[in-house]
Structure 1
């Protein structure tokens, strides 16, 4: 074979190999395409990706700002520029719950008290349910738009959902849990100017006290916010209504605090004294009436206080004898409530510190049950008698609520004492000026006032739980600066005003 023939043969063999390679590639491509088509028919390719609810499209802050704000009406309101954007509201909500659940797993447990993240998880779940319900209602409105009557019906249902959603944060918030924080916008009124309503014996600005850091602390509930108190807002909310405080001297402090908060501590000569309408008159030879009542004419709002230190009915056994004993009817509510409850719209009750032998003996009170002197040895113990009375009065008020649909009733838990080294008459003191609340947080679910917490359970009366948050404010008492106390005697029971009782009223305002 000549060299020419050999070269020609080699070139043909190379060409055949190239063709074979091309054919192989084509065959491979055809086989892959066939397999791919068969796979798509049996299981779409998206099945190999993680579910959409398992991942989120995360953007930088700049990319988030570029997200269009025009959203469908079904999902509008489910997004915010601060949250990652995803295609469906349900996907975002499910992912949020998943994230919170993951965080809760690593959260340490403290007995049965839910953590803040557990509370957050429950809140998110409830909000998700509400949002899904809203989406369903909105979609249904679109589908029935051609029928005006049906559309009107579903719009009403949608509005009901929106209303319940708006109320939800207040219903879910436990105002008794939280911590004290410094707020330079406090106090809410001046203790040296609110002379029209504030007794001088509780106005620490008029005493020799020089440290007033306690006035600048504000209560911050955990996982929620408390509505800011405004006098005008309160009067509007209580238009044509009456707020009544019924209780001991701590109740009177709360009453005076409320009057100062409503007026901002300013003089109000237009406010009317309507005490006689509620039987508040100074008896002959008496030093003061058994209560006070004031009316704000612009909204016809009345705020009153009635003295009832034990929250039960007390009657003299012999009216003609000034030294007579008094029947202390443990199973009867105060006569004032029986007579004037129909005129009250918001009722706040309290008792506690007068349940001691010194008070009973000094006032010549004799415990009665069923109209006769008590013969039950268990009730002879003052702690049991107090609990019995609280349960009895709260139950009675609750039984009256159906007759008075506009009435909201609260029982305020015990205001704590802070005597150290003795009692009020044995050298007890509370000289601390640095609040023990710094760095502390109230997290308990149940009230520290066991009797109050159990008295309201199963009733229509709500608990105004102020015990634990007040317990960590030992520096807020009048202490040794009292104007009326004897030398060496300190007041570690009552509070300086402005002070802690203002927070009780902020909580009450948020709960009304």
Structure 2
């Protein structure tokens, strides 16, 4: 088919249909590139190009709470969390930069002591931590993370580094006894202070003294047991010393039965010495190495008649049961442990321990006015290696075990199973009367801490005298401070459940 040209009538000009012009895309690209540059140039005229920042600090706190969230550690542990000020200051000089931290986690330009008032006691309450810092010990999950701490088993986990610890020192807390004051007696390493317990599947918050005191306002807490129970109480007093010290309100001069009051919170702490938890009698009042008479079916009235009005009781004992003792039931001798008599049946510590625990729990369940919560703390194993305590055994390790490096076994396992079993029996009996028993299961965590005992650093060396190493008690500060992380978390759960 041929195409023919179309002729236009004369007198008319030929016109073309106009189509809209398209702006090339490159033009838009150039515009979007120029506008931000112009905007930034304009901003330079009004404020400095780089906003200056300054570290958050509390100069009146010698052992500050971590500025960082434990769930999201910085890639550089020495970095501080920085916050932008409302008024932008000049660019910081070298002297404005945050001070470096020394090897025990304290600010190197700060004193080892709390601000003091009269007689070396703390002065006015230090400024309460800002919300951002309090979040670092609150245990709240970070952005993008979620878990239900209330349903988490906090007894199963691992020890992880905590460079912010310790939260007090042996010079800021008067409650530390000499044989637990490891730094005073020359312990050269400080790494044993710098760990925290990390449960599997969640994060246990580090102890917050402000939260604890508010939670315990108007309440009372008693520690019943042996010297390790006292060690636990002293750790609590030291952790609270960052806020306030208590007042001694004891009605006796006996150091084994003391009471302290935090008056601004109406909160009372008491300790009741009862290493066997049941009635005992010394066979020789002047010699504690001689066998004790243990009346395994009789209450120890030194504490069972005193706890009626307490809101919380932490009961624990174990290590004394390995000492020489004679066992009584119905006021009759039924056996002994390490006794010289050959006409008495020799029984183990497991035998006496089970019966003593059952009697102690029965005593609590028999109290008519007691309505408190009883925490049964499981025992913290000793870590003697190379011999028994009186045969040169020692605990010289410098770091924790991993959970796959050691297991609970032999007598330690049997004793732990007794505690768990007797707690279940007591809990079932208490439920009938509306009483609560809770298991503070610390044995798995403390089995992993051979590095936290005083060892030979609980005293000065004595020439020509051999003193047994202490692998039973715990240095302060030290791993035992974690027990109060457990305590606070369990108290919070109690508050939610009630």
Query: Quick check: 1:476 aligned with 2:443?
Result: no
- Alignment root-mean-square deviation, CA: 3.4
The residue aligned with 2:392 is 427
- Structure 2 distance, partners of 1:260, 1:367, is 38
8 Å CA contact 1:177, 1:443 repeated in 2: no
- Structure 2 distance, partners of 1:184, 1:324, is 45
Correspondence for 2:300 among 334, 343, 347: 334
Question: 210-219 vs 452-461, which deviates more?
Answer: 452-461
Q: How does 1:403-442 map to 2 (within 5 A)?
A: 403-405=369-371, 407-437=372-402
Which protein has the bigger helix share? 1
Report the CA distance between 1:437 and its aligned residue.
3.4
Report the CA distance between 1:274 and its aligned residue.
1.5
Query: Quick check: 1:203 aligned with 2:178?
Result: no
Unaligned runs of 5+ in 2: 1-146, 337-343, 428-436, 492-498
Larger Rg: 1
| Alignment size in residue pairs | 323
Q: TM-score, normalised by structure 2?
A: 0.59
Q: How does 1:499-510 map to 2 (within 5 A)?
A: 499-510=478-489
Report the CA distance between 1:442 and its aligned residue.
9.2
Correspondence for 2:423 among 456, 459, 466: 456
Correspondence for 1:234 among 199, 207, 212: 212
Decide whether aligned partners of structure 1 residues 379 and 343 sit closer, same or farther in structure 2, where only a CA change above 3 A counts: farther
The residue aligned with 1:188 is 167
- Structure 2 distance, partners of 1:204, 1:443, is 27
Report the CA distance between 1:204 and its aligned residue.
1.4
Query: Quick check: 1:493 aligned with 2:472?
Result: yes
8 Å CA contact 1:478, 1:495 repeated in 2: yes
8 Å CA contact 2:280, 2:295 repeated in 1: yes
The DSSP-based 3-state class of the residue aligned with 1:493 is coil
Q: How does 1:383-398 map to 2 (within 5 A)?
A: 383-398=350-365
Q: TM-score, normalised by structure 1?
A: 0.57
Report the CA distance between 1:503 and its aligned residue.
0.9
- Structure 1 distance, partners of 2:406, 2:150, is 21
The residue aligned with 2:256 is 290
Report the CA distance between 1:327 and its aligned residue.
4.3
- Structure 1 distance, partners of 2:354, 2:190, is 36
- Structure 2 distance, partners of 1:378, 1:449, is 24
Correspondence for 2:268 among 286, 295, 302: 302
Question: 201-210 vs 247-256, which deviates more?
Answer: 201-210
- Structure 2 distance, partners of 1:397, 1:290, is 20
Q: How does 1:344-359 map to 2 (within 5 A)?
A: 344-358=310-324
8 Å CA contact 2:175, 2:238 repeated in 1: yes
Correspondence for 2:248 among 273, 276, 284: 273
Report the CA distance between 1:249 and its aligned residue.
0.9
List per-residue Cα deviations over 1:328-368 (Å, max 9, x = no partner). Answer: 2212232123211212111111111111244x3xxxxx422
